[in-house]
Amino acid sequence: MIFGRRHIISTKDFSREEIDFILDRAERLEPYARKGGLDLLKDKVVATLFFEPSTRTRLSFDTAIKRLGGDTIGFDSAESTSVVKGETLSDTIRIIESYADAIVIRHPREGAARMASEVSSVPVINAGDGAGHHPTQTLLDLYTMRKECRKPLGDLNVAIVGDLRYGRTVHSLAYALSLYGASLSLVSPEPLRMPESIINYLRKHGVTLVETPRIEDALGQADVLYMTRIQKERFPDPSEYLRVAGSYRITPDTLESVGNDMIIMHPLPRVNEIDPGVDSTRHARYFQQAFYGVPIRMAVLSLVMGKEI
Amino acid sequence: MNVSDRELRVKPINNGTVIDHIESGQALNVLKILGIGSHSKTVVSLLMNVPSGAMGAKDVVKVEGRELDPEEVDTIALISPRATINIIRNYEVAEKFRVGMPRKVVGIIKCGNPNCISNSNEPVSSKFMVESADPVLLRCSYCEFVLDKNIADNLL
């Protein structure tokens, strides 16, 4: 399978076979994600352009690059760049492509990474574009489910809970799970329902789907409880945020009725939707999930740069 | 209808394009799609709300001295799917065809998502893929926003 010089913009650009190929490669790279020892990206420079704050994504990309023996350049906020002087993203990309062998970009506007890929001669990896896509997050989510659940992805019942309207991670995840035939329970307050266009896409692709505002309706049959933060920064109207903030909170008590094998995931950061008391239960997987970002990003970086292992 | 009215409405053109069977009320938007504005030197005749047997009422646009290219013409289908095109050469109808739905639409329609990169100061044209012709459903190639109504209102 050829990934060399390919842009990674949306999981929708990939077939199930291609996603499986990436997950398989991540599996092979996982031991090196913990202790390094590879030089697949020796003499390679990867630019990480974060126009928006990020902790896990940026640091896990940095770690992945370093574990592969590569170097990084870049920035973690637009304030320290020529953007404040009015430089366009297109110009920034045209300049950076001459410095780096690949570009990782996070940007607050939807479609920014797609546009960057049209301008760039080196591979562009989307690390989140507004409320749009975050494909490497989706890949690590799938990887977590594959590693931590006892069933194949296609047999899972995944309850996705929280901000389904603005949450880019859940949009990409829903698309990707539809490739495997997993069942979905979409749990959200009415104003934060999954966008109609995505619901239509899922239905068109035969996904078994339940929409409910009550988490209790989904907990019993869920194999995966995928919690998300209700993102204050995405709300155009703060009063709208206050109406739905704190709608869902998982505590050890909430988990009394769930199956033994049910796992809880979260793209993090969490605010108060998962009580710290849950961390020590058999269900918590969100910290493990955050670690899996490293082998996944190692897999993606090595693939787009045409490196075999 | 007396003879002078009739002549005024359908006076033939020497060379150019007649766009007929435009949905009533869409003629000005057709001009927008064709990039014909107040600065334009093109001779244009515009008929609005002309009685039509098949449509009840229709608009007609005649553009003199210019043959429209097929991509330009097809974009008209987004707002007027029944429109027909007559290419006129030496007062004769040299070609006659219906508009067809394009596969993509570039630089003509504004994305409805205010946070789309195509609505920023980037030097980039808006770009939509046509996902469905009936009903018309467009998907932004950048942010994937779906535009399925008020398409004429989003003309740039």
Domain borders along chain B are: 16-98, 104-154
* Known catalytic residue at A44: no
- The pLDDT value given to residue B142: 97
CB-based contact, A82 to chain B, within 8 Å? no
Mutate to test the interface with B, among A84, A94, A114, A117 (most CBs of B within 10 A): A114
- Of B121, B123, B143, nearest to A111 by CB-CB distance is B143
- The pLDDT value given to residue A222: 96
CB-based contact, A109 to chain B, within 8 Å? yes
Condensed to tens digits (0 to 9), the pLDDT of residues B21-30 reads: 999 999 999 9
Alpha-carbon distance A254 to nearest alpha carbon in chain B (angstroms)? 37
Q: A115 vs B144: CB contact, 8 Å cut-off?
A: no
How confident is the model over B35-52, as a mean pLDDT?
A: 89
**Of the ranges A61-65, A112-116, A133-137, A244-248, which one carries the lowest mean pLDDT score?**
A244-248
Alpha-carbon distance B103 to nearest alpha carbon in chain A (angstroms)? 18
- B134, pLDDT greater than 60: yes
Contact predicate A269/A290, CB 8 Å: no
Q: Which residues of chain B approach chain A closer than 8 Å at the C-beta?
A: 113, 115-118, 120-124, 140-146
Closest CA to B140 of B100, B121, B113: B113
How confident is the model over B131-136, as a mean pLDDT?
A: 86
Condensed to tens digits (0 to 9), the pLDDT of residues A202-242 reads: 999 999 999 999 999 999 999 999 999 887 766 677 777 77
Q: How many CA atoms lie within 13 A of A112 on its CB side?
A: 29
Give me the catalytic one of A16, A56, A193, A234. A56
CATH class of residue range B104-154:
mainly beta
What is the average pLDDT score of chain B? 88
Q: What is the CA radius of gyration of chain B?
A: 17
Percent of chain B with pLDDT over 70: 93
How confident is the model over B23-51, as a mean pLDDT?
A: 90
Instruction: Check residues A14 and A82 and name the one with the higher pLDDT.
Output: A14
Set of chain B residues whose Cβ sits within 8 Å of the Cβ of A108: 115
* Known catalytic residue at A204: no
| Range A79-86, long-range pairs (CB < 8 A, 24+ positions) | A81/A51, A83/A51
Look up tokens 């997993």; give the residue. Answer: A182
How confident is the model over A185-203, as a mean pLDDT?
A: 91
Nearest CA in chain A to B124: A115
pLDDT-derived band at B153 (thresholds 50, 70, 90) equals confident
Look up tokens 């995840």; give the residue. Answer: A173
How confident is the model over A280-302, as a mean pLDDT?
A: 97
Nearest CA in chain A to B147: A197
Q: Which two tokens stand for residue B110?
A: 């504004």
- B5, pLDDT greater than 90: no
pLDDT-derived band at B10 (thresholds 50, 70, 90) equals low
- The pLDDT value given to residue A233: 67
pLDDT-derived band at A78 (thresholds 50, 70, 90) equals confident
Q: Report the amino acid identity of residue A134.
A: H
What is the average pLDDT score of chain A? 93
pLDDT-derived band at A95 (thresholds 50, 70, 90) equals very high
Give me the catalytic one of A6, A7, A44, A134. A134
Whether A303 has a binding-site annotation, put simply, is no
**Of the ranges A67-76, A147-156, A190-199, which one carries the lowest mean pLDDT score?**
A190-199
How confident is the model over B60-82, as a mean pLDDT?
A: 87
CB-based contact, A100 to chain B, within 8 Å? no
3-state secondary structure chain A: CCCCCCCECCHHHCCHHHHHHHHHHHHHHHHHHHHCCCCCCCCCEEEEEECCCCCHHHHHHHHHHHHCCCEEEEECCHHHCHHHHCCCHHHHHHHHCCCCCEEEEEECCECHHHHHHHHCCCCEEEEEECCCCCHHHHHHHHHHHHHHCCCCHHHCEEEEECCCCCCHHHHHHHHHHHHHCCEEEEECCHHHCCCHHHHHHHHHCCCCEEEECCCHHHHCCCCEEEECCCCHHHCCCHHHHHHHCCCCCECCHHHHHCCCCCEEECCCCCCCCECHHHCCCCCECHHHHHHHHHHHHHHHHHHHCCCCC
Set of chain B residues whose Cβ sits within 8 Å of the Cβ of A112: 117
Set of chain B residues whose Cβ sits within 8 Å of the Cβ of A114: 117, 141-143
How confident is the model over B76-86, as a mean pLDDT?
A: 91
Percent of chain A with pLDDT over 90: 76
Instruction: Check residues B133 and A211 and name the one with the higher pLDDT.
Output: A211
Residue-by-residue DSSP string for chain B: --HHHHHHHH---SSEEEEEEEETT-HHHHHHHTT--TT--S-EEEEEEEEETTTEEEEEEEEET-PPPHHHHHHGGGT-TT-EEEEEETTEEEEEEE----SEEESSB--S-TTBGGGSSSS---EEEEEEETTEEEEETTT--EE-S-TGGGB-
- B7, pLDDT greater than 60: no
Q: A114 vs B141: CB contact, 8 Å cut-off?
A: yes
Whether B145 has a binding-site annotation, put simply, is no
- A24, pLDDT greater than 90: yes
Bridge partner list, A48: A74, A104
Percent of chain B with pLDDT over 90: 57
The CATH number of the structural domain formed by B16-98 is: 3.30.70.140
> pTM for the whole thing?
0.88
Contact predicate A134/A128, CB 8 Å: yes
Dihedral pair phi/psi, residue A125, rounded to 5°: -115, 125
How confident is the model over A251-272, as a mean pLDDT?
A: 92
Q: B142 vs A90: CB contact, 8 Å cut-off?
A: no
Q: Which two tokens stand for residue B62?
A: 């005649």
Domains assigned to chain A: 11-134+293-305 (3.40.50.1370), 136-290 (3.40.50.1370)
Alpha-carbon distance A97 to nearest alpha carbon in chain B (angstroms)? 17
Within 10 angstroms of residue A121's Cβ, the number of other Cβ atoms is 10
Q: Is-cis flag, bond preceding B81, omega within 30? A: no
**Of the ranges A63-72, B12-21, B112-121, which one carries the lowest mean pLDDT score?**
B12-21
Dihedral pair phi/psi, residue B132, rounded to 5°: -150, 140
- B4, pLDDT greater than 70: no
Rounded to 5°, the CA angle A180-A229-A51 comes to 90
Q: A132 vs B140: CB contact, 8 Å cut-off?
A: no
Instruction: Check residues B136 and A95 and name the one with the higher pLDDT.
Output: A95
Whether A57 has a binding-site annotation, put simply, is yes
- Of A90, A110, A197, nearest to B122 by CB-CB distance is A90
